[in-house]
Each structure stands twice: as structure tokens, then as C-alpha cells.
Structure 1
Amino acid sequence: MAAPALPASRRDDYPALHSQFHWHVPEFFNLAEACCGRWARDPATMDRIAVHTEHEDGRRASYSYAFIQAEADRLCRALRTLGVARGDRVGIVMPQRIETVIAHMAIYQLGAIAMPLSMLFGPEALAYRLQHSEACVAIADESSIDNVLAARAECPALATVIGAGAAVGRAEHDWDALLAAELPAFTAVVTKADEAAVLIYTSGTTGPPKGALIPHRALIGNLPGFVCSQNWFPHADDVFWSPADWAWTGGLWDALMPTLYFGKTIVGYQGRFSAQTAFELMARYRVTNTFLFPTALKQMMKTCPAPRAHYQLHLRALMSAGEAVGETVFAWCRDALGVVVNEMFGQTEINYIVGNCTAQNDDGQPGWPARPGSMGRPYPGHRVAVVDDEGRPCAAGEDGEVAVCSTDVHGHPDPVFFLGYWRNDDATAGKYLARDGLHWCRTGDLARIDEDGYLWYQGRADDVFKSSGYRIGPSEIENCLLKHPAVSNCAVVPSPDPERGAVVKAFIVLVPSIVRSAQADAALVAELQQHVRGQLAPYEYPKVIEFIAQLPMTTTGKIQRRVLREIEARRGAPAHP
């Protein structure tokens, strides 16, 4: 099926959108009230479907706002009986299931702090986070109960574990029994917008994970980026789906909470991601809006180059973040999916700050044109700069660190900012720099800014390396390799070299159809090297290539180049073919 021509960008509305935007943050604000309570009380919306859930075994269900609110009220009463008080931390170790949504709403209503934890965490990872946060309760299902119980001995403050789903009977309290014993009525705590709501642990380049403490108001700070990147969400029939785990910023703040804030419907899928499943879910639930990691898009592109010939899709907006999308994937989204991908940049501490909004269509919605390879411009409400090591703004075209000002262009506080790192004042202070009377939060990400204010991602500060005096970032090389039909995914890191300090090395995952042999591998290495050498600078081609079955990934879909760098460092100088 031939892709229909997309309307050309008619104008650039960015200057007016950014300069005229003003924050309106109330003194009192609560996530549960904003994302569920107000919809559940309104007769016009109480029966609206808030969440569709589907399990990989085929089980499906749909839940209204009224149902979620009633169950959250029951859980609030149960948690209060168990001793959970305002400010206490409650761990949620569950996937995209309805109990996860209910738990979040209940914890916010109590004025407690939700601590989402990935079901993929092992006992050691869970023990550190539960112990460091002094969580008093953890809620787990069958995907995580064994690891939670194994970690419990190291967590003296963890007084209670609640088992949900098939974990019923594995802990001292069962979800169903707890809720069945309570009435569906609870008077929510009134919280200030600045009060802590969520504690998310984020891994850095050194030391143990740090707990970023997020206030209720941070959702308000997220909304301009969410609305713009989703091409002016919501429309009347909008349905959202993303494989992003609700235990992480990408799933919680970029998908679940903003969708519910606007009273719309989100799909939760409990199972392993696959390209086929992604297309089937989008078709079955008539998904209009999505957030897909570049890794997922690459897999979908390789698996089904022409999806609209096989699936009836209804997409009108697509956001991507976590890695650079690259020109190849950008073009596939535009031509094969029929939507221009809106790249976005943010991090747990200051999320949804830079991106695109390509909503220039026949309805006359404002927006600005996306530039392939750019992560976009600062969203309305956020003041962003690229700075050098001294905090001075870099000239257009120069590499520097992305930094976000604590106030917007009008001098008003930006609500997207985190409160600080849990029990780590030094790390919090080290995140900021002061210059010319302004406070800037450093992201640790490198970028260039062009004359029109578009940012071009150059990688993490610790992903960039030097070879023979040249400063090299992985993104451009990886994008070039991905254009080769044999490459499914790849990661570029420095490999130690006694003469050059380091050489460019590419770890490559091949498409399944490639036939492997020593001779064929050697020929393919030469072909891939020439492929890059012919398109990029001579010093950028990968002098070493290693084929591997899969790349190390975070639970949020980011390539863990740090792991690959450590492997190379342990190996020392490898034998170069």
C-alpha cells in the first residue's frame, strides 16, 4: 500500500508558542484527583474507559474511571490500617496491569510517596532501593514476588508485602482480601503542588542509583511537551499505548499519567514486546497516539517494512525518546506509518523539556517542522541552553552540555523540576550550576544547537570519546550502520588502542536472515566498514566490529553502552581484524 503524501509544514509557529506561554500552577494539586477523582465523580465521564488491559496469554479487560476510584479508595483505607502515613514510601513492583494504576492513585490520595520499581529488578537491585528509601510497604504480583521476598531480609523498614494477581497467598496480605474488607469511600489528603509524590531511582555513570524525588506539580511541567509531541492531545477519539514500563519515567510520566490527566483511554499490555504484538495492539484498540523507543521502531521497521499493507492503523501522533531516532527510522515512520515522529528529550529529574510538534495539518493546528536527526526545540515553558564546562552558552554548532533553567523566559519557576535526590544533598547540589543570577540544571547529555534553536543530540557526556585526537560520538555512526540491510541494531563504543588511545568499535546485532560463517563474517565486516567510510569522516568508521546476539539494554529500552565500554576495558587492546 502506497503511503499517502503528508501535508507540508506550512509555517513555523514556535517563536509565538514559546514566548507567549505562561505557567499556571495552583498551590494545591494532587495527582490522584487530577488523573482520576475528578473524572470518576462526573456523571459524564465516570463510566468512560480509563484503561484497557491485555495479557500475553489472551486475557483482556476494560476498567472505568469510577471503578479505579472505588478500588483506590478501598486500598487507601487498607493501607492506612497497615500504618501508611503521609510521606511514607510504598513500593509498586508490577507491570502494566490495573492494580498498578489503582496503587498509584491510592498512594497519592494518602499523601504518601509512590516508588515504582521494575518487575525486571533482581533481589539485589530491589534490596538497595527498598532499603535506601526505607519503604514500609511493597506491592508485588507474580512477576516480582519472589525477588521482593528474597530482598526483604535486607530491608528492616519493609513491614508489609502485599501480593496481587497470581502472587496471592505468597505474602502476608492478599490484594483481593484487603480491598474486599474495605468500603469504597475515602477522604483524600489535600496536598500542595510542591509535595513529594514519586521516588524514582535512576542510574548514573558512577556510584549507586540515586532516588529522584518528584513533586505532584511535575506532571504540570510535563504537559506542554506531552501535548505538543502528541500533536495537540487530546482529540475526541484518542487512545494511547506505549510499551514503556510504568515503573519508569517514560511509562509513568510520558504515557500513563498524562493520558489519565486528560480523561482519555490508555492500553496496558502485560507481556514481552514484539513488533507483531505492537502492530496488533495498535490495530485492535485503534491506537491514535503512542510513545515508542527507537529500539522498538527499529525492530518494527525490520520486521514489517510496510505495516499498513497488513494492519489497519489509526496513528496520528508518535513520540520517540531515549536514543536518537536517526534518518532511516525517521523516514520509515513518515512513509510507512504515515506520521512524522516527534523526537523528545528529557530525564527523570527534568522530564519532557525538548522536542518537536509536527501538528501542522488541514485543521490549522500550530506546530513547528521536525528536522530529521534533531531532537527538537525547548518546549513552551522551558528555558534550555547548551553550555560549556564553565556554564557559558555555546555558539551555534559547538558541542556542549544541555542545561535547563529553573525559571522560564518570564522569570517564573518551571514546575517540571525534581525536588532533589533522596538523602543525597551533595549529588543534588552537583546537579546545578549558577551563572548570571540564574540556576541551571545539568543533564549530562551533549548536544549542538543550530541557528534556529534546534538541538542535535551528540550522546551522553561519557559516551563521547576521542580517537587520534578526534572527538567522536556514537549516534552518527550508529545511524549510518543502521541503514545497512544486514544490521538490526548496533552500539558504538571506544576500544582501547595503544597508538590512538581508542578506536571506534561497533557491536552489531544482525537481522535473522544473515547466514553466518567465518568467511561470510569477514566479508560482511569489510562491507560494513566501507559502508560507513563512504558516508562519514574517515576517522569515524568502525575499525573493529563484533557481531553479538543482543545488546545490553536498560528496562526502558536504552542501550547500555557503559556495559560495552567496561567489557572493552577489561579486554584491553583487542586484536583488530
Structure 2
Amino acid sequence: MRRPQADTFDALRAAFRWEIPATFNFATDVVDAWAREPARPALLWSNAAGEERRYTFAEIASLSSRLANVLRSAGVRQGDRVVVMLPRLPAWQIAMVACLRLGAVPIPSIEMLTADDIAYRVEASQAVAAVTTAANTGKFAGLPGVVVRVAVGGSEGWIDFDSAIAAASDSCPAATVGAEDPAMLFFTSGSTGKPKGVLHAARALFAWRNAMWFWPDLTERDVMWCTADTGWAKAGTSVLIGPWSCGAAVVFHDGPFDARRRFELIQRYRVSVFCAPNTELRRLVLEDVSAFDLSSLRASLSGGESVNPEIVTRWEAMTGCRLLEAYGQTEGLMLVTNHALLPPRAASMGKPYPGLDAAVVSVDRTRLLGSDEVGVLAIRQPQPMHMLGYWRDPQRTAADRVTIDGVDWHLTGDLVTMDADGYIFYQGRDDDIIGSAGYRIGPAEVENALMQHDAIAECAAVASPDDARGEVVKAFIVLKPGVAPSDALASEIQEHAKRVTAPYKYPRRIEFVADLPKTPTGKTRRRELRDLEYRRAGKM
């Protein structure tokens, strides 16, 4: 597939044609291909302690081949699911590429997951293997189905990552992976029930280079730094698959958020493309950057949540480069972009990528809407960047599809308008998903955790507007008879939620109420509570 050249974004769209290969293995077709240039840099890693490592594509090819041999010898086969739960360590890239080399299906997972979170993912996916750190091995206790266990730092009963790689051969025959074969599995929050598995095919991994071609216009001359967590789908496109498909080197920093450190690393590694969410940018624009050389930056990116206009203005003034926002979701990764060739339009997410057709569908799912009408953003199917479907859940997959005038569309769940020129404007969600600092949080996950507290009779988790995070989780709680509300109890409930589920889901705001609004059939009206929060904040 060739990258088209044009003078305008619309001309790029007109010139683009999909050329999906019959087979695609990211390890061989991308990593090994770039490894033919022995000195080509792939990974620039550092941590908060000041340690640093640099890897070429040739080194990543060798190390991932060694780990692939370790996994294969231990019993991992093509199609097997492997939980990869690692922080921002080079082991993450090595493990992900090793799985793909074998044709195994990695499940990227954030470290904040609890034992219960992991147990659900393992059971749902029937994962047979896990790669994690020594500190996290205890979370896999009692999961007999995970028969292959590899730990960075070693742990009793686990294969030691480094020593096993050192002893293994770097000659590893790679799997032949068909374009429609499963290649990567993410878990993402839904508006009801447990997280849903989003299964992507090998052709999606091939197609994700589009996100880098038609967003920052990435090339092999670039150094890209995306600060996304390793369990996010965003890391798949903007840390691993996308940049390396273009031959770009990536910066990978393991450490807590430190605004000044961000600018130090941009200067040190001559980062040319920097990607961060609105939550980070809000803090970065408060820094005095006069002492830093930021001349290497040519593009800045943000996705996952809208960036406030004043933040955009301040960031562009302090860095001298345009901030390009984009919209995406786990099911299709990045879908709508503000490309450098696309004239900006205030508050717009941009236009659909080349090779992708989008429309606005009426909320009742019966028709396509015209300019400036509010409806659900829909992506025409089939679409190479899009998921195979929800993991072993054809009913849920079908529920998000609609056929109008003989054309199939996937409904994203996001309400938008599209103007006469094709620019798309976000209007909100048509379900109860909470978007906080780039995380998607399902209300049922929060409510299930809260209901394990002895003091709670009923609860509802909804989005509450927040200037820093976009939205935060708010819990409306009905206490059991005889239990008195108090600030101390609210704090206790918050700490309980952090222990039971991943900490990013805990309710930052709690309100004790006498009862919850219900439908005639007894279902909680979350939308009514969410609207109440937005009215209180003057957002409606």
C-alpha cells in the first residue's frame, strides 16, 4: 500500500486506495524488514531513576525472536491468547512483538488492574499465558488456565524473562497470519456489564499505519513520543504498530507524570511528534519552557478527549507547532483527524481518514442525516481498520450495526454533527459511558464494585463534568437503613472502590441520596442523574 501525495486533505482522500495483503505478520513484515538496516533506531527508553536504553530494530527483532522461542517451547501456539501486563518497559514491545511473531493474540493490559479484573479477562479470553512483572505475579494466583507464566524480574513458579531470553535462540520461524486472522485483543468498558473484548485482525494492524500517515504524516525520519499507557488501544496505534510501521523511532518513559521532565525528554531525544491527552496538556502549558530547545517538534497530537481551546492556543504558542486533535475508539482506533493539510475549524474533530467513510445516523437508526443534524457517528463497513467483532459475542457486535439503503454501518455511540464541508463536531455520548482523562469507564463496573461495600443499598455511577479531566465518576448512593452518611464514610467507600477494581474507576465525587430515579420497570435512570450534574455545572 502506497502513501498518496497531494496538496490538500480532500485530494489525499480521493487518491487513496486500500491494498490489503493476503497475509500480514507485524513481526516479520515490519520489525524484521526495518532490521535489515542494522543501525536504524527503534526504541529510546528511560525511567524516573535516570536509566536509559536504546534499541535498534535489529535488536528488537532478535530479542522478540528469542522470547517467541521461549513461549513456543513452553506451549504457546498460534491463536492462543496471552495477557501482556507490563509498565513502560522495553519488555512490553519485546513481548508484544514476540506474540505477534508466533501468531498468538496479545491482550495488552494496564498495571492498575486488580486480581478480579485479570481473572475476568483470563476467563473471558481463555488466555493460556501471561507476561508481567514480579510485582504483579500475585494477581494471577488461582488462575490454573494460565499455564505459561513469564515474569520480568523473576518470581517463584514463573519463567524469568531476562535469563530465558539470554538462553534462547534468536532463530524463530514466524507464523503465517492471514489478513482476517485474529491478531490483538483489547478490553474496553461498555455501558452495561463487564468490559467487552474487542478483537482485531491482522489486516487492522497493517491498516493502522494510516493513523500515522494521515494524522502527523509520520516518516522514518521522525522520533515520536506518545504518553499513553501500555494497556490502552492508543498505545497500539501510537506507541507500537503505527510508528514502527513507518520506521519511526519511539520514546518510552517509565515514570510518574512530571511536566518539566516531559520537556527535558523532548529536548534530549529530539522528539519531532509528541502525543498527549488533554489532562496532561493542561498541566504542561503552565510550565516555563524558555530554557528548553523544542525546535525538533513539528507536530503535536491529542486524542481520547477534547482539548480546551485555550489550551490549544497556549500550547501552540509555547511550542511553535500546531496541535492536531483526532477522534477514535477501541473498535476502529483513530477514525477522524485534523491533518496538517486540513484547514482547522473551531471545535471540530476533523474529517474521516482517507480510506474511511463516515456518516451521521438518526438516533432511531432509520436514516442518514443531513448537514448540522445531531445523530450517531457511523463508520461504513467493511473497513480494514475496524475490529473483527466483540470477542465471542456476535449479538453485541450485531447490536452496533445497522443497514441503511443497502449499506452497512458501525455505530460508534458518539453523538455528532457534520457540516456541509464534511467536518465532524462532537456532541456527547448516546449511552452512559464516562470519559475521564482519556479512560473509558463503564458505570456498571463502578456500581458492581461499590455494591460490595456493606453500607450500600443502591448506587448509580454517572459522568460529572470536570475542567481538568473532562468528566469524573460521581456515585449517587442510597445507604442501608441505620447507616448515617458522613465525609468519613464517603472516603471509606472511595478507598474500597480502589481496592476492588482498577483505581482509575473510583468515584471522585459521592452524593448520598434517599432514592434513585427509576423507570417503570425498575431500571435506574442514569441519564437523569448525569443531566442533573451537567445542569449544576452550567453545562446544559
Normalization by structure 1: what TM-score?
A: 0.75
Q: How does 1:209-288 map to 2 (within 5 A)?
A: 209-230=195-216, 232-234=217-219, 236=221, 238-288=222-272
Alpha-carbon distance in structure 2 between the residues aligned to 1:426 and 1:108? 28
Shift of 1:458: 1.3
Unaligned runs of 5+ in 2: 1-5, 435-461, 477-493, 517-528
The alignment status of 1:324 with 2:324, answered yes or no, reads no
Change (3 A) 1:215 1:464: closer
The alignment status of 1:376 with 2:350, answered yes or no, reads yes
Unaligned runs of 5+ in 1: 1-10, 359-366, 408-413, 466-473, 483-487, 497-548
Contact 2:237 2:243 in 1 (8 A): no
**Where does residue 532 of structure 1 map in the other structure?**
none
CA-atom RMSD in angstroms: 3.1
The alignment status of 1:424 with 2:398, answered yes or no, reads no
Q: Deviations over 1:163-189 (max 9, x none)?
A: 11xx31344211122222221101111
Contact 1:127 1:152 in 2 (8 A): no
Q: How does 1:443-522 map to 2 (within 5 A)?
A: 443-462=412-431, 488=468, 491=471
The alignment status of 1:13 with 2:12, answered yes or no, reads no
Alpha-carbon distance in structure 2 between the residues aligned to 1:135 and 1:246? 18
Correspondent of 1:433 among 384, 398, 402 = 402
Contact 1:255 1:291 in 2 (8 A): no
SS of 1:213's equivalent in the other structure is: strand
Alpha-carbon distance in structure 2 between the residues aligned to 1:177 and 1:327? 50
Change (3 A) 1:333 1:190: same
The alignment status of 1:176 with 2:162, answered yes or no, reads yes
**Where does residue 22 of structure 2 map in the other structure?**
27
Correspondent of 1:396 among 359, 366, 371 = 371
Change (3 A) 1:559 1:158: closer
**Where does residue 161 of structure 1 map in the other structure?**
149
Q: Deviations over 1:274-312 (max 9, x none)?
A: 2122112111111001211111111112x31x5245444
Contact 1:448 1:455 in 2 (8 A): yes
Shift of 1:151: 3.4
**Where does residue 506 of structure 1 map in the other structure?**
none
Contact 1:226 1:352 in 2 (8 A): no
Opposite residue 228 of structure 1, the aligned amino acid is: F
Opposite residue 11 of structure 2, the aligned amino acid is: A
The alignment status of 1:346 with 2:328, answered yes or no, reads yes
Shift of 1:115: 0.9
Change (3 A) 1:464 1:262: closer
Opposite residue 417 of structure 1, the aligned amino acid is: H
SS of 2:297's equivalent in the other structure is: coil
Change (3 A) 1:369 1:192: same
Alpha-carbon distance in structure 1 between the residues aligned to 2:512 and 2:240? 38
**Where does residue 442 of structure 1 map in the other structure?**
411
Alpha-carbon distance in structure 2 between the residues aligned to 1:163 and 1:495? 37
Contact 1:124 1:151 in 2 (8 A): no
SS of 1:70's equivalent in the other structure is: helix
The alignment status of 1:334 with 2:316, answered yes or no, reads yes
Contact 1:491 1:559 in 2 (8 A): no
Correspondent of 1:103 among 86, 95, 116 = 95
SS of 1:217's equivalent in the other structure is: helix
Shift of 1:566: 8.0
Change (3 A) 1:443 1:570: farther
Alpha-carbon distance in structure 1 between the residues aligned to 2:401 and 2:514? 33
Aligned length: 466
**Where does residue 182 of structure 2 map in the other structure?**
196
Contact 1:282 1:313 in 2 (8 A): no
Opposite residue 31 of structure 2, the aligned amino acid is: C
Contact 2:190 2:433 in 1 (8 A): no
Contact 2:376 2:412 in 1 (8 A): yes
Contact 1:239 1:266 in 2 (8 A): yes
Opposite residue 384 of structure 1, the aligned amino acid is: A
Change (3 A) 1:131 1:493: closer
Change (3 A) 1:39 1:349: same
Contact 2:475 2:507 in 1 (8 A): no
Contact 2:86 2:109 in 1 (8 A): yes
Change (3 A) 1:316 1:78: same
**Where does residue 484 of structure 2 map in the other structure?**
none
Normalization by structure 2: what TM-score?
A: 0.80
Change (3 A) 1:565 1:428: farther
Correspondent of 1:120 among 112, 115, 134 = 112
The alignment status of 1:60 with 2:41, answered yes or no, reads no
Opposite residue 266 of structure 1, the aligned amino acid is: V
Contact 2:414 2:429 in 1 (8 A): yes
Q: Deviations over 1:454-491 (max 9, x none)?
A: 111112223699xxxxxxxx99x96xx85xxxxx5553
Opposite residue 370 of structure 1, the aligned amino acid is: P
SS of 2:313's equivalent in the other structure is: helix
**Where does residue 131 of structure 1 map in the other structure?**
123
Alpha-carbon distance in structure 2 between the residues aligned to 1:495 and 1:563? 6
The alignment status of 1:289 with 2:277, answered yes or no, reads no
Q: How does 1:540-551 map to 2 (within 5 A)?
A: none
Opposite residue 440 of structure 1, the aligned amino acid is: W
Change (3 A) 1:134 1:383: same
